């Protein structure tokens, strides 16, 4: 059975042409994507020595429409058998313009009621029921390394929660009756799912969780201000710009993504503190022995301890153990030697 795109159960519609200031036709410059014809499930399965089917980007490549409200119909309607090739870094995070397009496409998947029901309360339930189906859909459009799947599912989960929050902010008024709110169902949301969602928002349990989430947001020190470009893509672009192709330290990436600072905000204060530390101790923000983050480095001193399962300035997916190379408490203060002869304390 073919997997097709839908809003709730309909195919996505193209955005109406709009004008963008300074450009004709409302589009950005031409972006050439790496697209190949293949039946392989993962990029790992392709023999790189025999990739005659790879179509190199040409002057006739399609333009990527990046207008507000786009539903990426050029991806949903990609010719059968053709796949957009996505490269990933060692942490399984997508990079390059193809990686950016994958991230945008996942955002449209989260708004598709066939794959991500908005009335389900816990992402883990959505993932358990539909992860396989969603990955099958994505594999009809993109060819990526097997290691990227964890990032894909985490990204969908994050965007799913954001989408529900956006719906609530735009359409929900706790003072209105359910009968009124039911009529506000967006065209791209299934009516039954919307009704269930409204009932939950109006319930005592839904209200309690909402208050808890508001408190958590108020306690949040630093907001993500890197725009639509992921930290992984920033890391890669800065690495490519370096003459030695050296991976930048996470503090350098943080400063690059916080150039525009609003005075008085936590982001501006943190960036200024970070610059002062780097001026005094530049070694705390340098790639030393291929280490781009560690406990006690410049960014760690400014932002403090991470939440469980997160690493400051590294984007979605990496966990402290991956980045810091922590050992278990059983081996604390024990000298451990690696197979290449180097030792760790």
Assigned domain for 121 exists: yes
- Shared domain for 126 and 243, answered yes or no, is no
Angstrom distance (rounded) from CA 150 to CA 148? 6
Helix-helix angle 96-110:149-171, to 10 degrees: 50
Which pTM value belongs to this model?
0.77
pLDDT of 205 reads: 94
Assigned domain for 247 exists: yes
- Shared domain for 205 and 336, answered yes or no, is no
CA 36 to chain centre: 24
Nearest Cα to 89, choosing from 239, 309, 229?
239
**Residues 110 and 6 sit within 8 Å (Cβ to Cβ):** no
- Shared domain for 205 and 245, answered yes or no, is no
- Tell me the sheet residues that pair with 85: 143
pLDDT of 35 reads: 86
**Low-confidence residues of the chain: pLDDT under 50:** 1-2, 4-7, 9-29, 48-70, 327-345
- Shared domain for 123 and 184, answered yes or no, is yes
pLDDT of 33 reads: 82
pLDDT of 58 reads: 37
- Shared domain for 71 and 164, answered yes or no, is yes
pLDDT of 306 reads: 84
Assigned domain for 1 exists: no
Return the CA Rg of the chain: 23
Q: Which domain holds residue 251?
A: 231-344
Assigned domain for 185 exists: yes
- Shared domain for 53 and 190, answered yes or no, is yes
Q: Tell me, what DSSP letter sits at residue 26? A: G
Angstrom distance (rounded) from CA 250 to CA 314? 7
pLDDT of 44 reads: 76
CA distances from 326 to 298, 309, 314, 318 (A): 18, 13, 16, 13
- Shared domain for 213 and 67, answered yes or no, is yes
Whose structure tokens read 């309360």?
121
pLDDT of 68 reads: 43
- Shared domain for 258 and 193, answered yes or no, is no
pLDDT of 317 reads: 81
- Shared domain for 339 and 195, answered yes or no, is no
Domain boundary among 198, 219, 240: 219
Assigned domain for 16 exists: no
Domain boundary among 219, 253, 271: 219
Domain boundary among 219, 254, 277: 219
- Shared domain for 189 and 108, answered yes or no, is yes
Assigned domain for 9 exists: no
Assigned domain for 22 exists: no
- Shared domain for 156 and 266, answered yes or no, is no
Domain count, the chain: 2
- Shared domain for 133 and 205, answered yes or no, is yes
């Amino acid at each position: 059975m073919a997997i097709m795109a839908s809003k709730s159960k309909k195919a996505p519609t193209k955005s109406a042409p709009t004008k963008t200031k300074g450009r004709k036709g409302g589009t950005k410059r031409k972006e050439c994507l790496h697209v190949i014809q293949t039946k392989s499930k993962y990029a790992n399965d392709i023999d790189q020595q025999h990739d005659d089917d790879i179509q190199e980007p040409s002057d006739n490549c399609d333009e990527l429409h990046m207008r507000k409200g786009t539903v990426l119909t050029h991806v949903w309607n990609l010719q059968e058998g053709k796949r957009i090739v996505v490269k990933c870094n060692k942490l399984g995070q997508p990079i390059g313009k193809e990686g950016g397009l994958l991230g945008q496409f996942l955002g449209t998947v989260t708004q598709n009621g066939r794959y991500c029901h908005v009335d389900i309360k816990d992402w883990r339930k959505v993932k358990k029921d539909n992860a396989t189906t969603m990955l099958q859909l994505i594999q009809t459009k993109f060819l990526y390394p097997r290691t990227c799947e964890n990032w894909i599912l985490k990204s969908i989960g994050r965007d799913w929660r954001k989408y529900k929050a956006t719906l609530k902010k735009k359409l929900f008024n706790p003072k209105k009756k359910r009968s009124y709110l039911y009529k506000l169902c967006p065209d791209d949301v299934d009516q039954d799912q919307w009704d269930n969602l409204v009932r939950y928002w109006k319930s005592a349990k839904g209200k309690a969780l909402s208050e808890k989430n508001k408190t958590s947001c108020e306690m949040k020190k630093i907001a993500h201000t890197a725009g639509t470009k992921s930290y992984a893509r920033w890391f890669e672009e800065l690495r490519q710009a370096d003459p030695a192709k050296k991976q930048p330290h996470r503090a350098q990436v943080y400063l690059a993504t916080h150039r525009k600072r609003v005075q008085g905000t936590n982001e501006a204060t943190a960036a200024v503190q970070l610059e002062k530390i780097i001026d005094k101790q530049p070694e705390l923000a340098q790639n030393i022995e291929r280490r781009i983050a560690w406990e006690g480095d410049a960014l760690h001193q400014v932002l403090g301890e991470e939440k469980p399962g997160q690493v400051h300035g590294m984007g979605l997916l990496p966990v402290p153990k991956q980045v810091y190379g922590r050992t278990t408490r059983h081996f604390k203060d024990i000298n451990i030697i690696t197979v290449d002869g180097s030792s760790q304390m």
